[in-house]
Structure formats: structure tokens, C-alpha cells
Structure 1
Amino acid sequence: MVIDGRNIAKSIREKVKSEIFEKNYHPKLAILVAGNDEASLIYANTKIKACANVGIDAYTYFFTNDEEDKFLKKLDELNTDDSIHGIMIEMPLPKSYDAQRIYDLINPIKDVDCISTYNMGRLFSGNPLYLPCTPYAILTILKSLDVEYTGKHAVVVGRSNILGKPVAKLMLDLDMTVTQCHSKTLNLEEYTKTADVLVLAVGRRNLVGGQMVKKGTIVIDAGINEYNGEIYGDCDFQSVESLCSYITPVPGGVGPVTTSIVLSNTLEAYKNVIKNSNGKTS
């Protein structure tokens, strides 16, 4: 069965919109984009449109490859601006930027994608302020299925700090046994064929084909790859789909849910900022 990520995303958006309008909230999200990565620009515009549809004011700030100082100055301003409740940085940042330093400079209470070391530490210690958007989207998709995950085997292919590692943590929180693989794993097929739940998060088109998946597997494809003007995931969808009990398409699977989680986390950030500013609203 192909999972309709757009339908799951719609449900999340409706809940966020309802709460914002019923309680007269005014959340604001700042999005920082650096460099000339075309995908980042597209994702930023997608978030802005989604925000407008639910009553969140979104502002985008653009910087060139050699404007890290300006980027840092704006980030510092946003950190202390009481009218801004969430901050999101589009990735990847240019190689000329010190990405980890930038992530760690985000005010944790406004870090709606949970990319700072502080918030990542809270996540792995079991006391998260927010869940990172794409891993949270994957968790949300899994929870939408009528499946008992306790004791099942999850194989996560990918080990990035922003996706592979945190999603493995969330699978553990579902009481699953987790194997983490990556681009350097030898004989990857030996691991993927044992997965009850297979999460792909590498960014390599056709990394996993039908011969690498056992029948009945749940495949969550979070890979994004552009090829000949088309968007693909990390699995060869045509050869894998017939073997799966559930599978997310690319596009239309994890992506729309991730965008809706940005909205949900921004609303939570608004409530956290208000709570920490003695109830004052902006």
C-alpha cells in the first residue's frame, strides 16, 4: 500500500490552523537561506506558502556564499527578537560556512528543527524540547499505520546528525530493535533484507532495489534525489512497491508531512516563547 503523505500532512495542518485561529495566536517563523542551492529555495518557498495557509507569518532571509558574517548578525538579531518565535535554517549551508557553529548559535527555544547540540542532547536524553522535523514526520507516518512495532526490526540507512541518527533514536523509542547502516556499510543487502521497517535517508537514487527487501516490509523513503529534472527517493520504487506492506512515494510521502511538522513545531515554539516571556504575546 502506498502511503499518502499529503493526506497525513493535511490533517496536521488543519489541527495547527484550528488552534491558531481559535486561540488568536500569532506565531512567526524566520527562515534563513544561504548559497545558491536551488532545492533550498524551493523548500523555503514551500514552507512560506504552508505557513500562510495556517496563519503563521513567515519571513525569509537570503545570503550569498561569502556572507556568513551577515548571516550570523541576522541570526543574532532573530534570537533576541521577541516577535520571532521559530527559526529555521535551510540546509545544506554553503561549505564556506561553519554549519555546526551556526546550528549551536540558534536560541534553543526557537530551534524548531532541533539542530543545535543542546536540543539534540535533550532528544537523546529522552527530554526533547522539539523533535527534528523530518524524523518526526517519519514517526508520524509510522504511527498512522495500524501496526504494532514493539520488538520489530528497524533498519535505518543513513547516519546524518539531522536525520539518520535521530530517526534511529525514535525507532528505539517505539521499542524496536534498530540496526543503523550507512553509505560505507559492506553488504548492505544483508541488513535491508532483515528489516520489518526500512528507513532510507542517504540521498542516493536507486540505492535499494526489490532484491534487497523482504516481503511485507514497511519502507519509509526520506531520500531526495534530482535526476533529469525528476525527483526520486533512495529506493527503486517500481521494483520495491510490490513487496511492501506499506511504502512512501517520493515525492508525496515524507516531504509534505515534514513541511506540516515545521508548522506544528513553530506553533509549539510560539507557546514556549510566550510561556517564557510571562505570557506576553506579539
Structure 2
Amino acid sequence: MTRYIIRRLAFALFLVVAVSSASLLLAGAVPGDFASGTLGLEGARRDRLEQARERYGLDKPLAVQYRDWVAHAVRLDFGNSLLYDRPVGDLIPERAVNTAVLALTALTLATLVGLPLGIVVGSRHGGLMPSAIRAGSVVLLSMPPLLTSLFLVFVAARTGWLPISGMRSAVAPPGGAALDVLRHLVVPAAAIALPLAAMFERLQSQAMREVVRQPYVLAAVARGASRSRVVWRDALKAALRPIAAVYGLVVGTLLSGSFAVEVITAWPGLGRLMLEALSARDVYLVAGCAGMGSIFLAVATLFSDVALAFVDPRVTE
């Protein structure tokens, strides 16, 4: 197991370096830069543009910029954000915490809803409730988080029950700041959780349907054991393998990919910060956001691999 974890950690390190490097190089290769975007392509005099590029270090060739960035990054100095004039290493964790709060809340909701529904649907052969759950899952799976978030924002705006944007109110309402954040969290978290819960339900129901047909399950029921007890005690562990296999990828994708939902709901996370960085051509902030997203993905994948190895030790062989 130790050797297996070391291999996964080495791959995680390679992933972070590759993604952040590729992001910086691609962002720097795009025509235009932060200086021209800030001063304006047409209204700025050439001497002012050159002075701005020299100030921000953008007058150097891209290969030199990358070399200097790597030399500082190995010392955990990821440069200054051109847009915010703050160290990237200070700015990224602030937004990463907000993204983690949103993603983990959505994942918890999706897990608490999707897995039990999948177990119920997969352990029953027919009936109205399993059919209704399957139909609901198909509908939710056909709606990407972008469309789901737009729908939920529309409902919240029409009813006035919940805030539709941001993370905090300008003036803290009765109940305190924590309750205010929870109210702002409902719409973006639900937009991510609903399609995810549908995916978990489909995976879990298919896995459970296969497990309950196994000879040892049928034999236990034939010996007089309660079917519900066999399902929840014996069959469940075997049926969790497909979920364990994709859980880390789902977590990493949530933490690094809740881009559209954060933009639509103005949630101040990594996705919104990445959009701002791309719009401003802030190459160092783009590399920082991409690197943090790949760290989320790598760590989540590692935990998923460990969980899968616990459920099925054969994966480490």
C-alpha cells in the first residue's frame, strides 16, 4: 500500500507542474497581454505600453518569463497578480476555501440523496417509486450545472426566498454571518448537487442491481435472512466499488470545475477568479488557479484510490 501511495503522489506532483506550466504558457501565447488590456489597444501610446510591459515583466520573451516563474515557484513564490497587485500565493487560498465550501456542501448533499436512492432503486425489481426516481435522475442528468443554476436563480429571484448572488449580504441579516453564508450557499450548492445526485443514483442502482443477483446474496435470503439486512449489510460494501472509483474524480472536478455555477451566482471562488484572470490576461494568476485546481484533483484522486483499495485490495496489485 505504501508503494502504491508513493506512485500516486509522484503522479500528482507531475500533474500539478504540467497543468500550471501549460496554463501559463498558453495564456502568455494568446495575442495581447495585461498591459495592452489595461491601457487599451487603441488609446494607449506605444511608449506607455512599453513602460507598462517593462513594469510587469511582460517585455521579456515568453520562454524567459516561464523560466523566471519556475525559478520562483520552486521556492513557493508564484509571483504577483497583475490584476490585484497581490501575491498569487495569498490570493489563491482565500478563493480556494470558498470553492471548497461550495463543492463539499454540494458533494455532501449529492451523496446523502443519491446513494440511498440508488440502493433503493437497485435492490427493488419494480414499482412506482423506483420508476419515478429513475425518471427524475434522467431529467437531472440531462441538465448541466449551467442550466440548473440558471433555473434555480430564476426561481429564487421570482420567489425572493433565497439570495441569488454572492456569498454574503452587504448588511448582515438577523441570525448572524454564518446563517447569511448558508442562505447564499443554497442556490449554487443545489445547482451542483442535483445532477451529481442523479449520477450517483444511476451508478449505485446499477451496481446494487448486479450485486443482489450474486449467489451469496441469494443464498443468504434463501436461508431466511432479512432481505433489507442483507442489502444494507452485505451487498452494500460490494456495490460501493463503482462509487469509490469515481468519487475522487468527482471531488476534484467539483473543486476545480464549478466554473459556470460560480460565475452565474457570483460565488467568490476559484472559478470566478479564473474568469477574471483570463479576462485581464493575468498569466500568473491563471497559472495559480490552474495549479490549485490540479492540486484539488490530484489530492481527491489519491483519496479515491485509497478508498477503492480499502474496498477492493486487488487494485494495488
Higher strand share: 1
TM-score (norm 2): 0.22
The structure number with the bigger radius of gyration is 2
Task: Tell me which of the two structures has the higher relative contact order, counting C-alpha pairs closer than 8 angstroms and 6 or more residues apart.
Answer: 2
